[in-house]
Amino acid sequence: MRTASPSDLDSIVRVHQQAFEGFLMTLLGPRFLRGYYQCVLTYAQPIFLVAEREGQVVGFVAGFVNPPRFYAQLRQRKLPLALAAASHLMWRPRLWQRALSSLRRAETLALSNDEPTLAELASVGVAPAAQGLGAGKQLVLAFLERARERGVAEVVLTTDAHHNDAVNAFYQKLGFTCMRQFWHTPERLMNEYRIRLEQVESPHQEPSR
Ligand SMILES: CC(C)(COP(=O)(O)OP(=O)(O)OC[C@H]1O[C@@H](n2cnc3c(N)ncnc32)[C@H](O)[C@@H]1OP(=O)(O)O)[C@@H](O)C(=O)NCCC(=O)NCCS
């Protein structure tokens, strides 16, 4: 497990394409994905880690402290990101509604008040051939530990509520609690999970008796 660097971007895009097949960001194309993850890497407070096996990146976790600040930065890069996705959107007009919903959500979050003690875990992905071997769990636990080191009190994430039992079970096993549900589009219900870091035992702490 190590911090992601700009030279990992191509591998991260490849793992994302494999792990998130059919998801909106994947359908927006590799240039869009690269631009998005570059935005995470260049943000002031990223938490971005990769997992390697035999010298190859097989998984990653990407997120950021103070989500409203990150979304404000993303908003400033709206045009280059839209251009990166343009050729994919052009041939798939059905994607527009989903892309606009995501854009609206990012715009709303960008206008929220600063939350310096909150971090968002935006995506965790493991290449299909490496799934089920513990990399996803290690990535999330390392993410929580890095967040704690940055003074974060709580981590938030969202994932699909429907047809997504394995991922919901994965987060629940790691100690996340579903705090609310919301409709991202009229067809897509999301679960918002949160975890308070005081509930998570640090690897540096003495085990509780
Ligand atoms: C979700 C994901 C990151 C999990 O990573 P992984 O490396 O396969 O998971 P791990 O091997 O670390 O498993 C961790 C725990 O979750 C459980 N788990 C993982 N996948 C599971 C599945 N499909 N069904 C049930 N439980 C599962 C494991 O049993 C394990 O439990 P344990 O700690 O009690 O042994 C990975 O499957 C993935 O990339 N999925 C596609 C992308 C995605 O949906 N990401 C999450 C949304 S952002």
The full set of domain ranges for the chain reads 2-199
Amino acid identity, position 49: L
Cα 74 from Cα 107, distance rounded (Å): 9
Cα 152 from Cα 115, distance rounded (Å): 9
Residues of the chain with pLDDT under 50: 208-209
What is the reported pLDDT for 206?
A: 56
Ligand 1, from 14, 40, 126: best to mutate by most atoms within 8 Å of Cβ?
A: 126
pLDDT in tens, 76-99: 888 888 888 887 777 777 777 777
What is the reported pLDDT for 208?
A: 47
CA of 167 to the centre of ligand 1 (A): 6
Report the CATH number of the 2-199 domain: 3.40.630.30
Q: Which residues contact 170 (CB under 8 A, 6 or more apart)?
A: 136, 137
- DSSP label at residue 181: E
CA of 173 to the centre of ligand 1 (A): 10
What is the reported pLDDT for 207?
A: 53
pTM over 0.85: yes
> Is residue 18 in contact with ligand 1, taking CB distance under 6 Å?
no
